[in-house]
Structure 1
Amino acid sequence: MRRPEPEALLIGGRSGAGKSSVGWEVAALLRAADVAHAYIEGDTLDAVHPTPDGDPDRSGITERNLAALWANYTDLGCRRLVYTNTASVLGSEEWIFRSALGGPRIIRVLLTASDATVEERLTARELGSELQQQLRRSAFMARHLERHVPDGTRRIATDGRPVGDIAADVVAATGWKSPESPETISRAGSAN
């Protein structure tokens, strides 16, 4: 019997757009609907210093770590991945997922947020010395992502919205269904 094709939900967006919060809530909605999946925060896959020789953007170590984790998850029968990382939705990053997951169906969601929202979120989150750098990089990435995400990328605004509502919109973009129900996961499972 042939294994079903893997599927990867890539949640990207500028720093402060809400990727981690939404990713965790997406995972919670999927668990509540008994939809098998794995959740990985991509930022943890390349957190190494100094940069590996010959891998200045750390994409090689990201691919190796993702492949290792995915092998463990597929041994458990997993075929769906929820993955958060700023640039994951870019076409230039697709090779990582093709290599590590073996040619998955890719679903791209770009979370967006205004400069004011991002500044409020990052100011509350960044307690160290990197706030100004984070704000500059976030503004740059917002422009870069908007210009370079592939056609078909679903854009979801996060300004002033509860995380449960955003996550429900993200899950709806996947078309993933609960094994017990022919209905797509709805907002009924979202947090208030």
Structure 2
Amino acid sequence: MNQLTASMRMAFASPIFRFEVPNASALNEKLIEEANALREASAGVRRSNRRGWHSEANLMKYPGPGSTELSNSIKEAVNLATKAISPDFRFSEHRLATNAWFNINAKHAYNVPHRHEGFVWSGCYYVTTPKLVGSQSGSIEFLSPLTVPGEYRQLRAECFTDKISIQPNAGDMLIFPSYLMHWVFPNEANEQRVTMAFNAIYVAKDAHS
């Protein structure tokens, strides 16, 4: 009996990358110090954050050693993500435009559903991730950009789900398409939760900006 052969295309899929940043413990100590110093110097801004502190989005140029090191890792990871989904992308013809900011979420702080318009990639690096057993505390949840009929739930396939939750560890970096709606569960731990979020887009080198 002849066997069927098949190929598959993940049409309309939304990739979510998870990187582990090397030497995270030493890096995170620097980032905690820089985040706390910036919070002492500024009241921050209000975006999707509720009860939490959100810095200005200028950390890709901030001179702190931790921020500088992480900024380089962010650029490397964004390029790796781009290469993974578009092997023929012409990096030599583009430059990467980015911004980044600290989030400090104390107990009960969270981020409401939002997306990052005007960019291609968005992401988050996790500096501290206090955990509680059996809790979604601090998890990030992505909402599907597609309307999938309920009967697809019987397949138990991640590609047909309407939401995906991830609870990262300290040292993890998530990168995802900026159009994905997402939000962050309230921090239920007593310790503060510190992250650096970022956006990225490729701009043609001959573009005026």
Same fold? TM cut 0.5: no
Greater share of helix? 1
Query: TM-score when scaled to structure 2?
Result: 0.25
Greater share of strand? 2
Query: TM-score when scaled to structure 1?
Result: 0.26
